[in-house]
A and B are shown apart, each in its own frame.
Chain A
Amino acid sequence: MTALLTTTDLAMRFPGRHGLTDLLRGIPRPVVRALDGVSLDVRPGETLGIVGESGCGKSTLARCLVGLHRPNAGAVRYQGTDIATLRGSARQAFHRQVQMVFQDPYGSLNPLMSVGASLAEALAVHRIVPPADIPRRVQDLLDRVHLPATAANRYPHEFSGGQRQRIGIARALAVEPKIIVADEPVSALDVSVQAQIVNLLQELQTSLGLTLVFITHDLRLVRHLTHRVAVMYLGRIVELGPTEDVFASARHPYTQALLRAVPRLVPGQRSRDVAVRGELPSPLAPPPGCAFHPRCQRAEPDCAATVPALALREGHWPVACLQADRAIAHSSTIATSTPSV
Chain B
Amino acid sequence: MPRLTPALLLGLVLLGAVLLAAAVPDWLAPYDPLAFDFTALSAAPSAAHPFGTDQFGRDILSRTLHAARIDLQIALFCMVFPLLIGGLIGLLVGWYGGWIDAVFGRLVDLVVTFPFLVLVIFFVAVLGPGLVNVYIAVACVGWVPYAKLMRAEVLVQRQSDYVAAGRVLGYAMPRILLRHILPNACRPVLVYAVTDMALAILLGSSLGYLGLGAQPPTAEWGVLIADGKNFFTTAPWISLFPGVAIVLAGIGFSLTGDGLADLLAVKK
Contacts and interface: CB of A to CB of B under 8 A. Distances in A.
Nearest to B172: A125
B164 interface: yes
A210 to B, nearest CB: 15
Interface string A85-113: 00000011011101110111001111111
B171 A108 contact: no
Interface in B174-227: 175, 179-180, 183-184
**Chain B: interface size category:** 10 to 19
A96 to B, nearest CB: 7
Contact of B169 (A95, A107, A112): A95
A157 B180 contact: no
Contacts of B169: 95, 99, 122, 125-126, 171, 175
Contact of A126 (B162, B170, B175): B170
A92 to B, nearest CB: 5
A99 B162 contact: no
Contacts, number: 60
A231 interface: no
Nearest to A104: B161
A168 interface: yes
Contacts of B180: 110, 113
B254 to A, nearest CB: 26
Given A92-B170, A110-B184, A125 B175 contact: yes
Contact of A68 (B162, B167, B183): B167
A240 interface: no
B267 interface: yes
Contact of B170 (A63, A96, A108, A171): A96
B165 A171 contact: yes
Nearest to B164: A68
A102 B165 contact: yes
B110 interface: no
Interface centre among B162, B171, B175 (most CB of A within 10 A): B162
Interface centre among B160, B169, B171, B183 (most CB of A within 10 A): B169
A142 to B, nearest CB: 17
B126 interface: no
Contacts of B171: 121, 125
A68 B168 contact: yes
B268 interface: yes
B268 A111 contact: yes
Given A95-B169, A157-B268, A112 B183 contact: yes
14 contacts: A66-B168, A92-B170, A95-B168, A96-B170, A99-B169, A102-B164, A102-B165, A107-B161, A110-B184, A111-B162, A126-B170, A157-B267, A171-B165, A175-B169
Given A103-B161, A108-B161, A126-B170, 16 more contacts: A63-B164, A66-B168, A67-B168, A91-B170, A92-B170, A94-B170, A95-B168, A95-B169, A95-B170, A99-B168, A100-B164, A104-B161, A111-B162, A125-B169, A125-B175, A126-B169
Interface of A: 63, 66-68, 91-92, 94-96, 98-100, 102-104, 107-113, 121-122, 125-126, 157, 168, 171, 175
